[in-house]
Structure 1
């Protein structure tokens, strides 16, 4: 049962991290076309996916901190890597959207 829960949390990191990265890329593409409303919505989608991933990660960390050690597998490492890349990509996407807004002569927002 514990192994199944760990796998579920790991897959939550991978899936939600991937969704966040995809939404971030869609935000950049929308901004590139001048569709800043869609860009903002896509960044919010990315944030929601990252929040879900964070919940999975927090569950894993809480178990570890309480003495319920999780076996670290290649899949576990991959999930953490996937999440960190998604977070970085989301941060950069917000900056890129701001650059496109500035190029369009619009007020820059902090996403």
Structure 2
């Protein structure tokens, strides 16, 4: 994979990870206001962004597995960290939304 392709994949991880985290935060806020339809939509949007990020990550992993070493830079590490944080945050958002649903049902 060319350096430009690596950079595009790295920036994709950062962009899609950031979008997912933002959507997950908006989902929590919607649930807090009792708008569970919007919360569900925002979680779906977050998951779609995470899927796109995984596609970018898969390309880099495939390249590495085929013996074409990917140079690990601070930007590469940052992108992976950003993605993992977004995944964890989205998972936690789902749990928080479930709690708001339970509170709302009482």
Runs of 4 or more consecutive aligned structure 1 residues displaced over 3 Å after TM superposition: none
What's the RMSD between the two structures over aligned residues?
1.0
1:1-111 equivalences in 2 (<5 Å):
2-105=2-105
Give the TM-score normalised by structure 2: 0.98
Q: Unaligned 5+ residue runs, structure 1?
A: 107-111
Q: Say which structure is richer in helix.
A: 2
Question: Could you report, residue by residue, the CA deviation over 1:1-56 in whole angstroms, capped at 9, with x for unpaired residues?
Answer: 70000000000000000000000000000000000000000000000000000000
Q: Provide the rounded CA distance (Å) in 2 between the counterparts of 1:22 and 1:69.
A: 32
State the distance in 2 between where 1:12 and 1:68 align: 20
